């Protein structure tokens, strides 16, 4: 409430030490159409860390409330959200008690009809999972930044995106940023898609921790004078819990725990609708991100399909293969949920070999691809190389796997 003016507001920015004539940064910004911001505004090239890219994204995202809880490697970004609050780009901000509290509170904020942001990493995501997995069913548009790190024992803070596999079947929209640039662009796109009436779902933008968050990379940003349109709490698939409806029973979250056929049906149809909404979001991501996938060398026989940091390593492998006279294709999967099944199928239908390098032990992307391409695509889909727990994926490793693959599948 600190950055909001109104007779009923409990606490104001002046109460927190700002001068009486202070103008919040957000009030100096101009709202632009999202498509204008994503595709037309001039961009300035910066060389910044992923956390700083997240900050610049948040600055332009017209966020009402951000709730933070520290965990490495996320802390840096949510500290930056704190500075944005202090500058007046975010209206409300506080540190929650821990992740269940933080992710419950953020769902409360979203239910109030405002734009809400939080962020986490690995173990924090797992701790808050009960709350997170209830967001889609509650139809709460929320933006969560997820800086992936190890979750398994032995505990480590190194990059590893196994945690994303736990989000696959929740009904959450899930994007995977390759680099600092994506970590600037994707949250903005995710916010706009998640708040569409026919979507009304939470969105997570994952990025591989440290490699992106704690390292610098080139990022082209739009002018900071422009911000996204605010969330419109009235435009939603379900009413906000604001009691602005006529008196009636509107317990949106009413318990349906009775053991009878009607309650089974209610739950089933509600969940079907959630997952249908995930699919409906694809058209917005397509528009905002210029496609759910990116394809390099579309005519190749050998393809690498990857997401996140593995794309960057694969890009370099593709370049070096090219230097040596071999054409290798690359499909970058930007959106994991909705999963771009048809686009991927179209891109690789001429492929003979598909290699899926990943930064996790489970190989969740490989499994996804096998599930959707099974029976439709003639290519052999090979999982690997897989690194995890902070292990690195040198370009040569991908090239060695490609060489081996060519020997295995003639």
Partner 1 sequence: MSLETLRPSPAFASVLPIEYVDLVEHGPYTNRSGDGSKQTVKVTDMGKFKEVIEEHPMCAGCAMTLFIRLAYIGMPNPEHTIVVGTAGCGRLAISQASVPFIYGNYGDTNAVASGLKRGLEIRFPNQKKDVVVMAGDGGLIDIGFQGLMHSWFRKEKFTTIMLDNEVYGNTGGQESGMTNHGKVLKMAPRGKFGDKIDALGLAKVAGVDYIARLAPTNPARVARTVRRAIMVAREVGHSYIQAYTSCNIEYSIPTPDVMKDAFEIEKERYGFEEIVSPEAKAYLDEVEKKPKTKKTD
Partner 2 sequence: MLIQDNLLLTRSNPSGQGGTQFLYRVKDYGLAALTGPQEEISMIHWEVEVIKFTTPETAGFEVCHSTELADKTLKFYTDKSLNEFLQKAFQYFEELDLLEKMLPQES
Residue 248 binding partner 1, by CB under 8 A? yes
Residues 123-162 as x/- pattern, contact with partner 2 by CB under 8 A: ----------------------------------x-x---
Query: Whole-number minimum distance, CB 92 to partner 1, in Å?
Result: 5
What residue 400 binds from partner 1, partner 2, none (CB within 5 to 8 A, per partner kind)?
Answer: none
Residue 360 binding partner 2, by CB under 8 A? no
Taking the C-alpha atoms of residue 23 and residue 30, their distance in angstroms, rounded to an integer, is 14
Tell me the DSSP string of 320-375. HHHHTT--EEEEEE-EEES--HHHHHHHHTT-SEEEEEESSSS-HHHHHHHHHHTT
Taking the C-alpha atoms of residue 194 and residue 171, their distance in angstroms, rounded to an integer, is 12
Compute CA distances 386 → 88, 268, 332, whole Å.
43, 36, 17
Residue 408 binding partner 2, by CB under 8 A? no
3-state secondary structure of 87: helix
Among the residue ranges 100-108, 110-118, 161-169, 209-217, the one whose residues contact partner 2 (CB under 8 A):
209-217
Q: Which is nearer to partner 2, 328 or 377 (CB)?
A: 328
How many residues touch partner 2 (CB under 8 A)? 35
What residue 124 binds from partner 1, partner 2, none (CB within 5 to 8 A, per partner kind)?
Answer: none
Residue 195 binding partner 1, by CB under 8 A? no
Q: Which of residues 65-84 bind partner 2 (CB under 8 A)?
A: 72, 76
Q: Which is nearer to partner 1, 72 or 140 (CB)?
A: 140
Residue 387 binding partner 2, by CB under 8 A? yes
Give the DSSP letter of residue 307: -
Query: In 3D, which of 204, 225, 216 has the Cα closest to residue 335?
Result: 204
How many Cα atoms occupy the beta-carbon half-sphere of 170 within 13 Å? 27
State the residue for tokens 């990379």. Answer: 217
Q: How far is CA 176 from the centre of its chain?
A: 6
What does the CA dihedral 406, 326, 368, 213 come to, rounded to 10 degrees? Answer: 130
Residues 294-333 as x/- pattern, contact with partner 1 by CB under 8 A: ----------------------------------------
What residue 350 binds from partner 1, partner 2, none (CB within 5 to 8 A, per partner kind)?
Answer: none
Residue 147 pairs in a beta bridge with 207
The sign of the dihedral angle between the CA atoms of 39, 45, 60, 42 is: negative
Contacts to partner 2 by CB under 8 A:
45-47, 49, 51, 72, 76, 157, 159, 179, 208, 210-218, 309, 312-313, 315-316, 319-320, 323, 387, 392-397
Contacts to partner 1 by CB under 8 A:
1, 4-10, 64-65, 67, 91-92, 94, 96-98, 100-102, 104-114, 116, 130-131, 134, 233, 241-255
């Amino acid at each position: 409430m600190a950055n909001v003016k109104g007779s009923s507001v409990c606490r104001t920015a002046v109460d927190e030490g700002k001068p009486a004539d202070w103008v919040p940064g957000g009030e100096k910004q101009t709202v632009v159409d999202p498509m204008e911001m994503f595709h037309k505004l001039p961009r300035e090239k910066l060389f910044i860390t992923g956390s700083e890219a997240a900050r610049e994204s948040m600055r332009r995202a017209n966020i009402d409330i951000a709730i933070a809880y520290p965990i490495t490697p996320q802390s840096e970004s949510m500290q930056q959200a704190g500075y944005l609050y202090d500058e007046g780009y975010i209206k409300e901000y506080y540190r929650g008690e821990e992740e269940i509290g933080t992710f419950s509170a953020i769902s409360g904020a979203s239910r109030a009809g405002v734009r809400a942001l939080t962020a986490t990493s690995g173990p924090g995501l797992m701790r808050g999972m009960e709350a997170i997995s209830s967001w889609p069913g509650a139809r709460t548009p929320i933006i969560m930044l997820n800086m992936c790190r190890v979750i398994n024992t032995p505990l480590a803070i190194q990059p590893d995106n196994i945690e994303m596999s736990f989000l696959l079947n929740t009904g959450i929209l899930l994007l995977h940023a390759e680099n600092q640039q994506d970590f600037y662009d994707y949250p903005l796109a995710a916010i706009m898609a998640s708040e569409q009436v026919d979507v009304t779902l939470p969105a997570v933008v994952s990025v591989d921790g440290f490699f992106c968050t704690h390292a610098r990379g080139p990022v082209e940003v739009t002018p900071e004078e422009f911000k996204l349109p605010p969330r419109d709490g009235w435009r939603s698939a379900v009413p906000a819990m604001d009691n602005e409806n006529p008196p009636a029973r509107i317990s949106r979250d009413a318990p349906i725990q009775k053991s009878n056929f009607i309650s089974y049906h209610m739950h089933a149809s509600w969940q079907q609708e959630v997952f249908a909404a995930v699919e409906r979001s694809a058209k917005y991501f397509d528009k905002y991100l210029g496609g759910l996938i990116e394809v390099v060398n579309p005519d190749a026989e050998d393809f690498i399909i990857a997401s996140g940091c593995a794309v960057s390593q694969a890009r370099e492998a593709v370049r070096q293969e090219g230097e040596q006279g071999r054409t290798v294709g690359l499909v970058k999967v930007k959106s994991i949920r909705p999963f771009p099944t048809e686009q991927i199928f179209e891109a690789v239908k001429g492929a003979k070999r598909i290699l899926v390098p990943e930064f996790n032990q489970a190989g969740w992307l490989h499994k996804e691809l096998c599930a959707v391409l099974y029976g439709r695509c003639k290519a052999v889909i090979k999982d690997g190389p897989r690194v995890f727990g902070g292990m690195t994926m040198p370009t040569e490793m991908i090239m060695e796997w490609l060489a081996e693959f060519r020997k295995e599948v003639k």
